[in-house]
């Protein structure tokens, strides 16, 4: 059996790693295609090194652009790669443009598609990621779900039960494997994180492209920064918007994006995390760290019902929420968040 994995952006890499390692242990042929949707070293190639994934066999180098242009570049550049490799399975991850576009190419060429992290829904089609999730799930032959509620969502949407396989959360495989090495980085101490600190990440257009919204979030962070250390590893696009809008960030440590292990070390000991990232909602739940998601909805409701996550509609409430936050004394991750999802994914690919 030969598997072709497609990744394109930072959230994909910790999902790929456990599957790739499990496939290697099983002796399967594997090809990795990086679309180049994220191309900054800290957002891309550094992750391959950190997660012990070989350099990609192909890099499509599509770069940043509008959704339409980026998707078109992926469609055009991926088709000859897929044709030449002729894999038994195309495995796509998450909800980025690369996921949707490469699944479309495979569907038209008759290559079987497996979607890792299938069945997640925010029910908000103003989010580009929601469109990508829906399209990938409609095209996939095998829908590999991270939580039982995702199974239920797919069943309600009419997906045949024999195409749905619950495998658990592959992102948590990488997180659990990373903890000892993350602690060894000393990143938290180097950045002055003392356990009362707050970690922030923001990248979604609804937060960073809307000046009044971003200004309100920045104001809340400034208030928090009066009494706590606020560490804000920032996506290049987010930093550009902060500069464009001339937002004062006094009291906030606005730094470059962190390598994977450094980020895990800073996050695992945090008093709280403020984010709009899907992955951090899951990682904080697994670690027992309070998480405040600055969004109107989440495609990962299990992080609220069984985790440490809370949606924050009004940024002005963040200072009070952070002050009242309490770390979970007993961490009980949801079912399947046990570090073995990668193995279950490979088993599903081999038996279908």
Residue 178 lies in a domain: no
**159 shares a domain with 276:** no
pLDDT digits (tens, 9 = 90+) for 307-339: 999 999 999 999 999 999 998 777 888 999 999
**204 shares a domain with 261:** yes
**191 shares a domain with 92:** no
Instruction: Let me know if 203 is a catalytic residue.
Output: yes
**97 shares a domain with 227:** no
**26 shares a domain with 138:** yes
Token pair recorded at residue 94? 């998450």
Token pair recorded at residue 288? 């027992």
**210 shares a domain with 139:** no
**CATH number, domain at 284?**
3.40.50.2000
- Other CB atoms within 10 Å distance of the CB of residue 124: 14
Instruction: Write out the DSSP string of 321-338.
Output: HHHH----SS--PPTT-S
**3-state DSSP of 55-78:** CCCEECCCCCCCHHHHHHHHHHHH
Domain that holds residue 162: 2-169+337-351
**99 shares a domain with 57:** yes
**75 shares a domain with 7:** yes
Residue 181 lies in a domain: no
Residue 18 lies in a domain: yes
Token pair recorded at residue 35? 């679309």
Token pair recorded at residue 266? 């800073």
Cβ-proximal residues to 251 (8 Å cutoff; 6+ apart), any chain: 221, 222, 224, 225, 226, 230
pLDDT at 206: 92
User: Which helix or strand (DSSP H or E) is residue 317 part of?
Assistant: none
pLDDT digits (tens, 9 = 90+) for 118-172: 999 999 999 999 999 999 999 999 999 999 999 999 999 999 999 999 999 999 9
pLDDT at 327: 85
**118 shares a domain with 203:** no
C-alpha 39/C-alpha 42 separation (Å) is 8
**240 shares a domain with 158:** no
C-alpha 15/C-alpha 103 separation (Å) is 17
Yes or no: say if 6 and 99 are a contact pair by the CB < 8 Å rule.
yes
Q: What is the mean pLDDT of each run of 10 residues along the chain (352 residues)?
A: 94 95 98 84 66 93 91 97 98 97 98 98 94 98 97 98 98 97 97 97 94 97 97 92 94 94 97 96 96 97 96 98 89 93 98 92
pTM of the model: 0.93
Yes or no: say if 270 and 291 are a contact pair by the CB < 8 Å rule.
no
Our CA angle for 300, 323, 174, nearest 5°, is 35
Residue 331 lies in a domain: no
pLDDT at 225: 97
**195 shares a domain with 122:** no
Yes or no: say if 146 and 117 are a contact pair by the CB < 8 Å rule.
yes
Of 328, 55, 13, which is closest to residue 178 (Cα–Cα)? 13
Instruction: Write out the DSSP string of 217-273.
Output: HHHHHHHHTTTS-EEEEE-HHHHHHHHHHT---TTEEEEEPPPHHHHHHHHHT-SEE
Residue 174 lies in a domain: no
Q: Which of 38, 67, 197, 203 is catalytic?
A: 203
**347 shares a domain with 294:** no
Yes or no: say if 124 and 162 are a contact pair by the CB < 8 Å rule.
no
Token pair recorded at residue 88? 């038994």
pLDDT at 31: 98
Question: What is the number of structural domains in the chain?
Answer: 2
């Amino acid at each position: 059996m030969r598997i072709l994995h497609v990744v394109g952006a930072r959230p994909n890499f910790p999902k790929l790693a456990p599957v790739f390692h499990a496939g290697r242990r099983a002796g399967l042929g594997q090809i990795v295609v990086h679309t180049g949707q994220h191309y900054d070293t800290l957002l891309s190639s550094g992750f391959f090194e950190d997660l012990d994934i070989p350099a990609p066999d192909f890099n499509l180098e599509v770069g940043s652009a509008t959704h339409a242009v980026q998707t078109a570049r992926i469609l055009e550049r991926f088709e000859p790669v897929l044709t030449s490799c002729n894999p038994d399975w195309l495995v796509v991850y998450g909800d980025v443009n690369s996921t949707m576009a490469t699944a479309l190419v495979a569907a038209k060429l008759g290559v079987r598609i497996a979607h890792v992290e299938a069945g997640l829904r925010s029910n908000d089609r103003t989010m580009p990621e929601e469109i990508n999730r829906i399209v990938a799930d409609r095209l996939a032959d095998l829908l590999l779900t991270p939580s039982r509620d995702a199974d239920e969502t797919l069943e309600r949407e009419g997906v045949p039960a024999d195409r749905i396989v619950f495998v658990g959360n592959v992102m948590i495989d990488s997180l659990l494997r990373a903890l000892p090495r993350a602690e060894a980085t000393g990143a938290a101490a180097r950045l002055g994180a003392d356990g009362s600190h707050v970690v922030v990440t923001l990248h979604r257009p609804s937060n960073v492209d809307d000046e009044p919204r971003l200004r309100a979030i920045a104001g809340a962070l400034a208030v928090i920064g009066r009494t706590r250390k606020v560490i804000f590893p920032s996506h290049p696009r987010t930093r550009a918007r902060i500069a464009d809008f001339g937002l004062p960030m006094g009291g906030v440590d606005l730094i470059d994006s962190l390598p994977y292990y450094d980020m895990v070390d800073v996050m695992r000991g945090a008093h709280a995390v403020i984010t709009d990232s899907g992955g951090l909602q899951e990682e904080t739940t697994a670690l027992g760290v309070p998480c405040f998601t600055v969004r109107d909805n989440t495609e990962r409701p299990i992080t609220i019902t069984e985790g440490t996550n809370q949606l924050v509609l009004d940024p002005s409430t963040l200072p009070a929420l952070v002050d009242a936050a309490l770390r979970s004394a007993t961490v009980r991750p949801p079912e399947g968040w046990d570090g073995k999802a990668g193995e279950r994914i490979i088993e599903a690919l081999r038996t279908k």
